Amino acid sequence: MNIVKSVNGEEINLSNTGIFYNQYNVRAKEVAQNVAESLNRHKIEAKIYTTDEFTPDITMAIVLGGDGTILKASRYYAPYKTPILGINLGRLGFLSQAKSSQADKAIEYIIKGEFKTEDRLMLTALDGKLNALNDIVIKGESFSRTSRLYVHINDNIVCDYLADGLIISTPTGSTAYTLSAGGPILSPVLDAIVIVPICPHTMNARPIVIPSDEVVKVTSCENKPLLKISADGQNTLDLGVDDNIEIRKSEYKAKLILLNLEKNSFYSVLKEKLHWGLSWKC
């Protein structure tokens, strides 16, 4: 058996590795074949699938694509506690650990055990119908009008927002839609939830950071009963005024593989992806 141990002591069985590629990316299949060949050189057999062919019968998932592809894989594999290695074929690639040109090097890091696993907080809504690694977003049915959304935390009314919508985000999602809406950036290892209004119509509407074990409930005004709710911007449902919109910490966590590549820490990635620079040398 091909067992490797991470630097934080977790063992991963590589003998049943699945390589999943986004079939809508023109380069993805070729990269998937290169990754499989790299694994074969280390005497590890791997099967190649598209991201429409997720299967529970694997012990590690190598996911090729952008952040959206990795989000999709994370939602599927979180209940199985399957570790995921992301290789970026998209734009930002906050969730990936290597570029396609670094695929061979990434495999070497895995073989040598020069990696760690990190469990990431996920959210669930509507009694498990929706699950998210990044965020749950609530908006009115009409995208041309604002909505009045009432936020309750642990059954206590906290505030109401007149806004285009509301984002309830994990720390992982704080660098996604939440960031664009003016929310704070949180380290992904924090155990917290962020609530951010989208384009609020009042200056005193501010993001809120709360402990992850608190329950967020959202209700709407009676004259605007229909809402839309989405998970990670990929799964969307229509809601009525009587639907119970509760968002809470999921019982499952996404298990991501983090490589010890140079400049691969969360803060280095922030600087690179957001193009943060210094105006002086120190």
Active site residue: 57, 67, 104, 135, which one?
Answer: 67
Residues 167 and 178 sit within 8 Å (Cβ to Cβ) = yes
Q: Is residue 160 flagged as an active site residue?
A: no
Active site residues: 67
